[in-house]
Amino acid sequence: MSDMTARGRAARTGRPSSSDQTLEQMSQQLTQLSRFMHSAEAARLVLGLLYLSRIPRDAARPGVPTWAWLVNHATENPSEVRRAVIECLAHWLPSIEDPDTGAMRLVPELPASSTRHLPALIHAIGSIEQVSPLLDKCLRDLSAAQADGSNYFTPCDLARLMVGAAVPQDGNSVLDPVCGSGGLLVESHRYVHERVGLNPTMFLQGKEQHAPSSQVAHMNLAVRGIRGHIFPPGNSLAQPEPKRHDIVLANLPFNQSAWAPDGDAEPGYGRPPLRSVTAADPRWSEEPPPRGSANAAWIQHIVHALAPAGRAVFLMADSMAISRQSAPRRLRERLLHADLVECVIALPPRVFGPSKATACLWVLNKDKRARPGWGSSDRRGQALFINARRAYERVPDSRSRRLGKENTARILTTLAAWRGLSESGAAAMGYSDVPGWSQSCSTKEITSHEYSLMPTSYAVEPLSPERDTRSQIERLKFELTDRLAQMHDLELRLLDALEEI
């Protein structure tokens, strides 16, 4: 029996229910709570109570609220349970050092009408045998509730794809500079645990600018018994990473603007010139990223954070793969000449969050030689393109989409075959290009395509009227997006020039 299971059983107040029954009970409780409090607050409440019930505490001092004390209130004094929940959460929730507001615990707001539902909620949480299903449901609910504010979390199937493409090893240092709920760190731990059969000795680190999400990441790892470090909330682009990492995973914000620091400009004198705030930064020693778009800045930040044989997997807007603007094109050229690009995967729309934008998954690798843990094929001077634009399935009873297990497995199998990577001692599968799905290209071939990293330019579907129509629409969309980006870039350059006068 694991320590976490033992603690869970010690915390229970009644006979345990089956996982399905308990999850159904919790779903009903969340539905009830969401009728009179925001669904995000309801999900955060359940996360907080899970954290209280599963994290071991030192011997309680007199007057310090504990989980057992809270359960006792729910049983013997239900009319005071709301006050008890607030007191317990305020005392035990992990404190987050927000750079703007200082230390805070972010206790969910509980309306008076929640009182009659809290006792059943507390007893249901105490009866849970396996916490992962409920934890995952809370994170999905919280992600959906926060989607309008762009603080959504990485879906499970996309997290599995990203981690599977990175192939982390036991003992690796893993960084997520925009960690959200910590889902990619959790998946990295699960991936390695399944292969070594023991608790991995990994170094998991995450940073998140959104303070409430940073607190959720801390609780997510702690409730699952995973050791990791979540840094205080902050912007990862503000400074270079002080250490190099074996793996960098990131579900990046798309087309983030105004990323550049303001420096020490005096009030009323505008922003300092971009070169004055980036000149000493080792991440862009060759060329500073455009001030108005963080896409290039994120890529260069991640490359700088990689160890000599490090790998990175991150989500990036299509524009960075195909834009004809000079800055993105030069960045792609530098990445290719440094032989960092390993694979680019065109994903279907709407499988990674609420955005309707199209995006690709980039896989960078600082060492593509044949070696243990990566594969038996020497892929230096080559890159793989996978066109998974149509590899999605519908979520039942919903208009939403997801990658799904089969599509995720197909992408990972293609990448593993290209690398010559075997699983569980079996012989590695041979790789061959599949029209419309995957294409292996040399750096010379990519150069002849003006350094385009768009998979749909290489893994081209067989000719058909439907494909021709889609191609025309995609071309027009890219041209429009590119022109709008050029206009935005020119506007920012003009403002910078006027401020220097």
Domain edge (last residue) among 113, 145, 177 = 145
| Token reading at 247 | 């793996």
Each residue of 303-340: pLDDT tens digit?
999 999 999 999 999 989 998 888 899 999 999 999 99
Q: Is residue 178 predicted with pLDDT exceeding 80? A: yes
Average pLDDT over residues 98-111: 73
Average pLDDT over residues 16-26: 65
The answer to whether residues 327 and 364 touch, using CB atoms and an 8 Å cutoff, is no
Whether residue 412 is found in the same domain as residue 269: yes
The per-residue pLDDT for 266 is: 36
Q: Is 338 part of any domain?
A: yes
Whether residue 242 is found in the same domain as residue 290: yes
Mean pLDDT of the chain: 83
Q: Is 117 part of any domain?
A: yes
Q: Is 498 part of any domain?
A: no
Whether residue 201 is found in the same domain as residue 66: no
Average pLDDT over residues 343-361: 87
Q: Is 328 part of any domain?
A: yes
| Total number of domains constituting the chain | 2
Burial (Cβ within 10 Å: 0-12, 13-18, ≥19) of residue 456: buried
Distance CA 226, CA 192 (A): 12
The kind and range of the H/E element at 183 are helix 183-196
Q: Is residue 494 predicted with pLDDT exceeding 50? A: yes
Q: Is residue 271 predicted with pLDDT exceeding 70? A: no
Its domain, for residue 83, covers: 3-145
Number of residues in the chain: 501
Burial (Cβ within 10 Å: 0-12, 13-18, ≥19) of residue 120: middle
Distance CA 323, CA 313 (A): 20
Nearest to 249 by CA among 320, 290, 306: 306
Q: Is residue 296 predicted with pLDDT exceeding 60? A: yes
Q: Is residue 487 predicted with pLDDT exceeding 80? A: no
The predicted model scores a pTM of: 0.84
The per-residue pLDDT for 269 is: 35
Whether residue 22 is found in the same domain as residue 135: yes
Q: Is 428 part of any domain?
A: no
The per-residue pLDDT for 467 is: 56
Whether residue 124 is found in the same domain as residue 217: no
Domain edge (last residue) among 101, 119, 145 = 145
Domain edge (last residue) among 145, 177, 198 = 145
Q: Is 472 part of any domain?
A: yes
Whether residue 133 is found in the same domain as residue 176: no
Whether residue 82 is found in the same domain as residue 179: no
Taking residue 16's Cβ as centre, other Cβ atoms within 10 Å add up to 14
Q: Is 137 part of any domain?
A: yes
Average pLDDT over residues 44-51: 92
Nearest to 294 by CA among 305, 306, 284: 284
Between β-strands 245-251 and 173-176, what pairing exists: parallel, antiparallel or unpaired? Answer: parallel
For residue 346, list its beta bridge partners.
360, 387
Band the pLDDT of 104: cuts 50, 70, 90.
low
Band the pLDDT of 101: cuts 50, 70, 90.
low
Whether residue 261 is found in the same domain as residue 131: no
Whether residue 168 is found in the same domain as residue 114: no
The kind and range of the H/E element at 303 are helix 295-305
The per-residue pLDDT for 193 is: 95
Q: Is 262 part of any domain?
A: yes
| Token reading at 65 | 């609220």
Whether residue 254 is found in the same domain as residue 313: yes
The per-residue pLDDT for 26 is: 75
CATH number, domain containing residue 159: 3.40.50.150
| Residue scoring higher pLDDT (458 or 472) | 458
Whether residue 109 is found in the same domain as residue 177: no
| Residue scoring higher pLDDT (129 or 205) | 205
Band the pLDDT of 397: cuts 50, 70, 90.
confident
Contacts of 380 (CB under 8 A, 6+ apart): 339, 368, 369
What residue type is 396 in one-letter code? P
Nearest to 185 by CA among 174, 200, 169: 174
| Residue scoring higher pLDDT (472 or 412) | 412
Whether residue 105 is found in the same domain as residue 188: no
Taken in order 91, 95, 98, 102, the sign of the CA dihedral is positive
For residue 314, list its beta bridge partners.
250, 362
| Token reading at 358 | 């199209």
